[in-house]
Structure formats: structure tokens, C-alpha cells
Amino acid sequence: MPETMVAPSILSADFSNLKKDIEMINGSPADWIHVDIMDGVFVPNISFGFPVVKAIKQHSKKPLDVHLMIKDADHYIEEFKKVGADNISVHFEACTHLHRTIHNIKHHGMKAGVAINPHTPIHFLEDIINDVNIVLVMSVNPGFGGQKFIEHTFNKILSLKELIKTTGSKAKIEVDGGVDLDNALPLVRAGADVLVAGNTVFSSPNPLETIKYLKDPL
């Protein structure tokens, strides 16, 4: 089984000392830095915009995995590319013309992902699964960090893995929300390729060791 990818979520970092936390991630075996963008419309919270993403990119040695929890994502794709996004995932529930949005992301030279909320069935992705690089499965309701993991996520991952297999898709399965040291191994066994971890990493007494464990929980 290939090594699990880990994407620490910068939303849980210490914003009074962001450079220090980014340098910690740079020195870790983490694969991406996960960046949550929230607009207060699609989700009931606001995070940060282009200047903060640009500042993260200036210090980061890891690719930026940008998760857009926003309405009208198409208006901002090019600007996120300019400030340093390497991957962009948009929400199935927020995109009226998902196919066009996905190909717009790819047109700008980034990996394209589709994110789904906990209530969205996997079979809704049948017509887009071969167009995306990433499927981001939300294991909490999007908008806030530190929520309790939704157990039904395991079944969704199994269903998604089967869809990927039967369609020949190359999409990676990314899981975001409530990922911790207890559920990391079951998630990987179910088929998760990328684990997003916020509080689990940044509230750890030893973030580097936590990232190492998430990379190889087997």
C-alpha cells in the first residue's frame, strides 16, 4: 500500500506566528498545506483571502491545496493561481456548472478537485469522476474546525473507491474533518489517499511526530 499523503490544515495554525508553523510543515514529511477559504455565504464562517494565501506561499516549500468553500468560485480561479494555489477543490453543492469549473482550474495549470458535503451521495459524482484529480470527502459539515468526525464517512469512502475502480478514474480520495490518530488507520484501510488534519497536528505536543504517524498509520 502506498504511503498516505498528509495535508496539515493551516486554518488551525497559530496566526500570530504563521511563519513558524509553515516552517514546521516544511521540515516535516507532510505533502501539501491545506488552505480553507470560506466566504460566510456558502458556509457560516469567513477565513482569509488572497493576501494571506500569497504570504503562505512565500514561506511554504509544500504545494498549496486550496479548498474553496465559496459561492461563484469561477470568478476567483485565476487569482488563486496567481497567489500560489497548486490544487483547487470546489464544492459540488456550490457549482452550477461543475464541469466548466473543473476544466477552468486545469486550464490554469492546477490540479482540480471536487468536494462533497456529508449529505451528498457518491453516485452524484459519476459524470465528473474522470475529470478530477481529487475528490475531497467532508467528514464534518464545512465551516468550522474541531468538529466531531461523522462515522458514515467510512461507507462513503468505500463507495467512492469502488466508483473510482469501475470507471478507471485516477482521482485521489482526500478526507477532511475530524481526522485524528484514532481514525487515521481505518480511513486509510477504507481507501483514503490524503488525510487533512488541523487540530490534530497543531494542538499536538509534537506536531512532527503526529504528521509522521499520519503518513504511515499502518
What's the whole-model pTM score? Answer: 0.96
The CATH number of the structural domain formed by 5-215 is 3.20.20.70
* Single-letter residue type at 40: G
Domain ranges for the chain: 5-215
- Active site members: 36, 176
pLDDT digits over 139-195, tens only?
Answer: 999 877 667 899 999 999 999 999 999 999 999 999 999 999 999 999 999 999 999
DSSP 164-195: HHHHT--PEEEEESS--TTTHHHHHHHT-SEE
User: Which residues of the chain, if any, have pLDDT below 50?
Assistant: none
